């Protein structure tokens, strides 16, 4: 009998159990009603009573070992099954909405504009939004009481001496020319303020990007080519540019820059007021007096300057119909610029 017990033990020990199926085969072979263990207990009945104690112990030990291995593996495989079930993905679950932010359209356009000028060798300069009279007006050839000052409906912070909210970023160009020696090639983006009633087409606060180039032999042809290249880079090769004579106190000659209307492709629509052209900014050759005001030799150096409204450019690029959308923080508007 001891031999039988030993052979069952050996067989059970080499029995391979890798999964629940194997475990069930193991149970049937050893632990079920018709299994080897029960056969052993049947045989045990015929064991002479003086040997019962000795055999009984060995059989019980075998039973405990077989049952123990079974319990341990059952726990392991079933637990594993549950863990697998937990880890499995449920593809029918509704998606958790991902709140991806977006950059403001004015930020996107300002960066695009700056990148184009940067490739042409312009650097970035910034200045204060609260300006003194000299940098916003006087140094730019707006004499006191000159009617040109009224072109720009100014917000005054203080009077006599005047401190204003800058009406253009040309003030930054004066600061740069006062501090640096030519050659100067710089772009000044920033917020500007004008006392205008807020409407779809006007705002009391908007953004400009102004450019300045001062060097020897700078010509109007350089100005035209610079702006032409810029506009094509930003809007694509089909765009057309036109310069219209204009007036600014700090440039001579002066021009306004128009581009062909992107909405109607020049045929005429509401946005271009049926002219086929949209104005995007002003430009001109720096008046020699401006260079003198900044202590730059105006015999040796000449320069050009230009200025554009970022809102207007973004309106044309993204077909935004109302300026007020830029400042209302409406998520339905802002989220349309995701990924740009």
**C-beta of 305 vs 325, nearer to ligand PHE:** 305
Residues 191-220: x where in contact with ligand PHE by CB under 6 A, - otherwise, as a string: -------------------x----------
Q: How far is the CB of 161 from ligand PHE (least distance, A)?
A: 22
Q: Is 248 in the site for ligand PHE (CB under 6 A)?
A: yes
Query: Binding to ligand PHE by residue 258, rule CB under 6 A?
Result: no
Beta bridge partners of residue 215, listed in sequence order? 302
CB of 170 to ligand PHE, least distance (A): 4
291/307 Cα distance (integer angstroms) = 18
Binding-site member from 306, 312, 315, 323 for ligand PHE (CB under 6 A): 306
Residue bearing tokens 């600014």: 248
The region of 5-13, 21-29, 30-38, 302-310 touching ligand PHE under the rule CB under 6 A is: 302-310
Tokens of 246: 């204009």
Give the single-character DSSP code of 155: P
Closer residue to ligand PHE in complex, CB, 226/251: 251
In the three-class reduction of DSSP (H, G, I as helix; E, B as strand; rest coil), residue 193 is classed as strand
What is d(CA 36, CA 127) in angstroms, rounded to the nearest whole number? 94
Contact region for ligand PHE (CB under 6 A) — 51-59, 79-87, 236-244, 301-309? Answer: 301-309
- We find the least distance from the C-beta atom of residue 140 to ligand PHE, in angstroms, to be 8
How many residues are recorded in the chain?
340
d(CA 54, CA 9): 17
Cα 186–Cα 187–Cα 191 angle in degrees, nearest 5: 140
Q: How far is the CB of 137 from ligand PHE (least distance, A)?
A: 11
Pairwise CA distance, residues 78 & 81, whole Å: 5
> Measured from the CB atom, is 8 or 174 closer to ligand PHE?
174
- Taking phi over 0 as left and psi of -120 to 50 as alpha, with beta for the rest, 264 belongs to alpha
Comparing every residue's Cβ against ligand PHE, the nearest one is 307
As a whole number of angstroms, the distance between CA 8 and CA 38 comes to: 12
| Beta-carbon-side half-sphere exposure of residue 86 (alpha carbons within 13 Å) | 6
Q: How many residues bind ligand PHE (CB under 6 A)?
A: 11
Nearer to ligand PHE, 23 or 305 (CB): 305
Q: How far is the CB of 244 from ligand PHE (least distance, A)?
A: 12
Q: Which residues ranging from 132 to 191 are in contact with ligand PHE (CB under 6 A)?
A: 168, 170
**Structure token pair of residue 27:** 């149970």
- Report in angstroms how near the CB of residue 246 gets to ligand PHE at its nearest: 8
- Which residues of 57-125 form beta strands (DSSP E)? 123-124
Nearest distance, CB of residue 230 and ligand PHE, angstroms? 14
Q: Residue 262's Cα: distance from chain center in Å?
A: 26
**Least distance to ligand PHE from the beta carbon of 220, Å?**
12
Coil/strand/helix, residue 335: helix
- Mask of contacts with ligand PHE, 270-289, x by CB under 6 A? ------------xxx-----
Q: How far apart are CA 90 and CA 8, in angstroms?
A: 45
Kindly state whether residue 251 participates in binding ligand PHE, applying the rule CB under 6 A: yes
Which residues form the interface with ligand PHE (CB under 6 A)?
168, 170, 210, 248, 251, 282-284, 305-307
């Amino acid at each position: 009998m001891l031999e039988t017990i030993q052979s069952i033990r050996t067989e059970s020990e080499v029995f391979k159990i890798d999964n629940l199926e194997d475990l069930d085969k193991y149970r049937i072979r050893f632990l079920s009603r018709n299994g080897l263990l029960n056969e052993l207990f049947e045989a045990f009945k015929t064991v002479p009573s003086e040997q019962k104690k000795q055999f009984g112990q060995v059989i019980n030990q075998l039973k405990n070992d077989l049952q123990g291995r079974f319990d341990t593996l059952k726990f392991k495989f079933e637990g594993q099954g549950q863990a697998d079930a937990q880890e499995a993905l449920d593809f029918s679950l509704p998606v958790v909405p991902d709140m991806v932010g977006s950059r403001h359209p004015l930020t996107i356009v300002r960066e695009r504009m700056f990148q184009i000028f940067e490739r042409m060798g312009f650097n970035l300069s910034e200045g204060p939004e609260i300006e003194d009279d000299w940098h916003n007006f006087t140094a730019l050839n707006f004499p006191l009481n000159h009617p040109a000052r009224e072109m720009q409906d100014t917000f005054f912070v203080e009077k006599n001496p005047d401190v204003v909210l800058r009406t253009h970023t040309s003030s930054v160009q004066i600061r740069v020319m006062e501090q640096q020696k030519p050659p100067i090639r710089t772009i000044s983006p920033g917020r500007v303020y004008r006392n205008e009633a807020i409407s779809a087409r006007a705002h009391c606060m908007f953004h400009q990007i102004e450019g300045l180039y001062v060097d020897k032999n700078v010509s109007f042809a350089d100005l035209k080519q610079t702006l032409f290249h810029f506009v094509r880079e930003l809007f694509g090769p089909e765009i057309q540019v036109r310069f219209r004579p204009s007036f600014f106190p700090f440039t001579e000659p002066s021009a306004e820059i128009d581009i062909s209307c992107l909405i109607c492709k020049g045929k005429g629509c509401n946005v271009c007021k049926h002219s086929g052209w949209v104005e995007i900014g002003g430009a001109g050759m720096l008046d020699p007096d401006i260079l003198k005001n900044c202590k730059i030799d105006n015999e040796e150096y000449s320069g050009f300057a230009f200025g554009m409204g970022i809102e207007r450019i973004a309106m044309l690029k993204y077909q935004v119909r109302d300026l007020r959308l830029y400042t209302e923080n409406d998520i339905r508007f802002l989220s349309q610029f995701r990924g740009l």
